Structure 1
Amino acid sequence: MNVRISSGRIKQGDYTRQVYTWIKFGQYKEAISFLTEQSLINHNSREALSLLGYCFYMIQDFANAALSYESLSSLYPDNDNYKLNYARSLYQLCSFDDALRVTLTIDNRSTMIEKGQLVKLQSVIKYGQDDLTAARSLIDQLAADDPDREVNQGCVLYKESRYEEALTKFLNGLTIEGYKPDLSYNVALCYYQLKQYPLAMKYIGDIIEKGIRDHPELSVGMTTEGIEVRSVGNTITLHETALVEAFNLKAAIEYQNKNMAAAQEALTDIFNVH
């Protein structure tokens, strides 16, 4: 049930605390509902627009996130963070040309954004455009000790179908960064392409096991007959677990192994985490 607060009877400090409480506990839709009301009352409120952009991004509503950050970028053209988040939202929408155009308005020496973030974003945009030469050139500009350099090089190698080289990069990334679901998925995918299915399943199993343990709210592996389960939606949390991708890959491997029952079970599990 959404909490509704009368905007005319609450002090700013109070509603700010309430919004941040919603955000802290992942109640982004509640925050969005209230912030939308606030932005209508206080037209172009910087705080409301900024929080709206963040909340929309966290529920993967990238179209509305882009609109929020576009407004902020127009209202505050000297703020490179807003431009960076606007470009990120456009990238997630696969609007690669527009995303690149926005990044070109950002000063690479800006102290507002973390070092290397602009180059990383430009490299993934070029990757999305299949301009692998430009993507590799940008990745090579990253600091040698930046763990994303190794991983992103692996992504380019994978797209070039150089699976063994990509696998080496991803395994090095795991050694440097420790367990990360998306990186483990990349390793599993390389093993799949190399037809080393048992090794692929090992990494898939790790993703699923840790996803179940660390995010019980996703209800993975739970029996739900007769129980109403609230959908978690298409959230950043769900995306970061790589569970959907892992179950998809598991189904593909079981299909290759002609184990149709296990393949169907993996596909059913995908729907359970949506």
Structure 2
Amino acid sequence: MAFLEQPRAIPDGQFTSTVYGYIRDSQFDDAIGVLRQQLEERPDSRAALSLLGHCYFQTGQFELASQMYDQLVRCYPDNEAYRLHLAHALHKAGLYAEASEAAARASGPGERVERDAATLQFAIAYDRGDLPACRRLLDAAPPDDPDALANTGCLLYREGEYAAAAKKFDDATHALGRLPQLLYAAAVCHYRLRAYGPALRLVAEIVDAGAREHPELGVGSASEGAAAPPGSPRAAPRSVGNSQALRDTALVEALNLKAAVEVALGNPGGAAEALADMPPSALAGMGSDPAGGFRRLNHLLGLASFPPEAFPNLLLLYASPAHRFLDLAADVMADNPALVHSLLTRELAEFLSALVARASAPDEAFARLDALAAGHVSALRSLTKRLQDARVSRDSEAIRAALERYDDALARYTPVLMAMASIPWERGSWSAVERLLRQSAEFCGDCDAWRLNMAHALFMQARGGRGTGALADAWLIEERYADAVRHYQPLVVRAADSLLALPAIVLANLCVCYVMTSQNEEAEELMRRVEAAEEEADGPGGGGQASAPRLHLAIINLGNYEFGVSRVLKSLEPLQSKLSTDTWFYAKRVLLALAEGLAKHTVALRDAAWEEVGAFLAAAEAAGARVPAAFAGGGGAGDAEGRSVGEEARALRGLLARLAERRY
């Protein structure tokens, strides 16, 4: 093939070999630059149009590819291959109606063209969600068509028949070979069936084949970097671009599926390892780079074709307690009603709508969540009865199926319950949170999320507990702390080998509970274990990095410091009967130490703690107006003997007010 005029950058007589060399080496951008220049000089060049269409398609520029093939179809209407290429490009560009029309016009003397056109029509109908049309196309397919086996598997998967779909994909691999896409499809079916072993074996086969046949993709290079010397930063994964070779290997899909399996097995470290070779990872990076994660998810939604999970994931992350971008979630749902209808289940759409309403109408949101929870509870009771019947009949298969359905139902109910509990929590009604959670103990009592939030509710009640009498109050407070220990402790025991994986606030609160229930040795032992875990993580062989400081022990110490100050102040209530020269002597030493720490920026207080200290000093100023700050002849320095507790409290309040102004 030769062109009339050749660009100056390419030597005479080497134009064709240079262009095909670019394409052979996947340097499609270089080829596009040369071919576009040639097309400007000769707009009707069949070779330039054909090669540009191919290069645009390979680089994911499907609309531009469709323009090239459309021009070729107009110039060469008898070439059915161009019609199929046009339909394929339109399909990839998300122009389903135009793609279906172009595929319908493709016909030829051989069966191959008709089969390719029918397969493409199936893919278009499948992506549009037109399952009846998919079924009609499969019924019309020849019985010996191997593509129909794979397409039948796809349809069965969409209909939720995962076991039958896996069988069809297995049959297709016997007819077409162990193609990565077929292996991945079968692996997804096994994942849906919770058969994680077969799923991981198929994923391993895909990854091994991709690494062996395409070493240029560097699969495993990033994970091997995890074994670098301790303290050295892990090398960033090398981008290989969105090449056709990468798409053909199904490596991205396989490694994402492996990460999903690891998450399901409770191994987040394994999930991160699986994604190490596949940047950028929107979900995996949400903890360290939420802005980047949101940007990537929004980018996916802007594509003509995107993973259907991206839309609900984006909404759930926007509405999650960690981010609370409720306005953004509302905007996305309002701007994409078609996606809400097609990609969200009715239950999930109602749940998200209730979360969004929580910001402006919490009572309405609570009522909507309560209605959702009632439906979940009814389903859980029904499944409990089915599970009991299966156990009575000793039907192991029925027991397994009932347990799976029960676990799924419980996983859907728990977020609704926690969203309900968050509404009284935000109002500071800890007892209401406890009552709500206790109502669900029948179903959720063994769930970590339930235990954690119940422990938090009990802990907050103990910290702010009030009773009708001092003795009853002290007894109730200690009971709340002891009950909180019973809920915190199992979480810590299960994480004995990975304490730093727990939120630091869990460890800090448990230490406080130990102290308040006279279990000081347990508190000290827990702090020693946390310190040892941090030293091990940062030391040789721990994989620690200077850029990832360990803050658990610091948070525990700071939390206990703030708690200790609070307990000293509460111990003097009521001030009218407990404030004296003796008690003030010890209380002011604590407050002076606090002021020194604040001045040196070695201590930080939350706003609530500042308010508590300020309120205490204001009350002490009034109650101590006639209480001497020091005993006469007690050896105090300066003129302390002439001052009252009220005067010293006022001076301390002024000092802390100045320190508070310097916080920001």
Q: Tell whether the structures are fold-level matches, with TM greater than 0.5.
A: yes
Percent of aligned pairs sharing the same letter? 37
Report if the CA contact (8 A) 1:84-1:118 is conserved: yes
Distance in 2 (CA, whole Å) between partners of 1:123 and 1:162 is: 18
2 CA distance for matches of 1:36 and 1:230?
29
Corresponding position of 1:241: 249
Q: 1:12 to 1:139 in 2, by over 3 A?
A: farther
Query: Is 1:213–2:212 an aligned residue pair?
Result: yes
How far apart, CA to CA, are the structure 2 residues paired with 1:13 and 1:117? 37
Q: State the one-letter code of the partner of 1:101.
A: E
- Displacement of 1:44 after TM fit? 2.5
SS of the counterpart of 2:37? helix
Give the equivalent residue in structure 2 for 1:86: 86
Shift of 1:260: 0.8
Taking a change above 3 Å as real, the CA distance of residues 19 and 254 of structure 1, as seen in their structure-2 partners, is: same
Contact 1:81 1:113 in 2 (8 A): no
Deviation at 1:129, TM superposition (A): 1.3
Q: Is the 8 A contact 2:239 2:279 kept in 1?
A: no
**Per-residue deviation at 1:62?**
1.3
Q: What TM-score comes out, normalization by structure 1 length?
A: 0.89
Per-residue CA deviations over 1:98-137 (Å, capped at 9, x if unaligned) read 101222333x344596341111111111111111121122
The residue type equivalent to 1:134 in the other structure is A
The aligned amino acid for 1:162 is: E
Give the letter aligned to residue 210 of structure 1: A
1 CA distance for matches of 2:146 and 2:112? 18
The equivalent residue for 2:196 is 197
Change beyond 3 A, Cα 1:70–1:171: same
| TM score, norm. by length of structure 2 | 0.38
Matches of 2:111 and 2:44, distance apart in 1? 22
- Paired with 1:227 and 1:17, the residues of 2 have a C-alpha distance of 37
Gaps of 5+ in 1: none
Matched, 1:70 2:70: yes
Partner Cα distance (1:19, 1:141) in 2? 42
Distance in 2 of aligned mates of 1:74 and 1:231 = 38
Q: Which amino acid aligns with 1:18?
A: T
Show the counterpart of 2:167: 168
Change in Cα spacing, 1:79 to 1:195, as seen in structure 2 (3 Å) is same
Aligned equivalents of 1:28 and 1:125: distance in 2? Answer: 27
Q: How far is 1:229 from its partner?
A: 8.0
Change (3 A) 1:144 1:112: closer
Deviations 1:169-224, CA, capped at 9 Å, x for gaps? 01111122221100000110000000011111110111111111111111111157
Q: Does 1:266 align with 2:274?
A: yes
Partner of 2:614: none
Q: Aligned-pair distance for 1:43? A: 1.7
Match of 1:121 in 2: 120
Distance 1:247 1:227, change over 3 A: closer
Deviation of residue 50 (structure 1)? Answer: 0.5
Deviations 1:23-62 (A, max 9, x none): 2232222211110110011122111010100111122221
Residue identity in the other structure for 1:244: V
Match of 1:140, SS state, is helix
Is contact 1:80-1:113 (8 Å) kept?
A: no
Gaps of 5+ in 2: 226-232, 282-664
Residue identity opposite 1:206 in structure 2: E
Question: What secondary structure is seen at the aligned counterpart in 1 of 2:248?
Answer: helix
Amino acid at match of 1:233: G
* Aligned partners of 1:52 and 1:68 also within 8 Å: yes
Question: Using a 3 Å threshold, how does the CA distance of structure 1 residues 227 and 36 change in structure 2: closer, same or farther?
Answer: farther
Moved more, 162-171 or 227-236: 227-236
The number of aligned residues is: 268
- Post-superposition offset of 1:8: 5.5
* Shift, 1:80, TM fit: 2.2
Distance in 2 separating the partners of 1:189 and 1:229:
25
* Letter aligned with residue 54 of structure 1: H
Corresponding residue number in structure 2 for 1:257: 265
The answer on whether the counterparts of 2:6 and 2:38 sit within 8 Å (CA) in structure 1 is: no
Equivalent position of 2:154 in the other structure: 155
The answer to whether residue 39 in structure 2 is matched with residue 31 in structure 1 is: no
- The verdict on how the C-alpha distance between 1:19 and 1:111 changes in structure 2, with shifts beyond 3 A counting, is farther
Instruction: Tell me if structure 1 keeps the 8 A contact 2:35–2:52.
Output: yes
1:181 lines up with 2:180 in the alignment: yes
Q: Counterpart of 1:155 in structure 2: which amino acid?
A: C
Q: Is the 8 A contact 1:120 1:139 kept in 2?
A: no
- In structure 2, give the amino acid aligned to 1:123: F
Give 1:252's aligned amino acid.
A
Larger RCO of the pair (alpha carbons < 8 Å, separation 6+): 1
For the 8 Å contact 2:87–2:99, the answer to whether it is kept is yes
Other-structure match for 2:105: 105
- Please give the alpha-carbon distance, in whole angstroms, between the structure 2 residues aligned to 1:201 and 1:237: 22
- Select the structure of larger CA radius of gyration: 2
Shift of 1:226: 9.7
Contact 1:81 1:112 in 2 (8 A): no
* Counterpart for residue 21 of structure 1: 21
Q: 1:163 to 1:93 in 2, by over 3 A?
A: same
Q: Which of 33-42 and 230-239 deviates more? A: 230-239
Mean Cα deviation higher: 164-173 or 261-270: 261-270
What residue identity is the alignment partner of 1:61? Q
Please identify, of 144-153 and 227-236, the stretch whose mean Cα deviation from structure 2 is larger. 227-236
Q: Distance in 1 between matches of 2:167 and 2:207?
A: 23
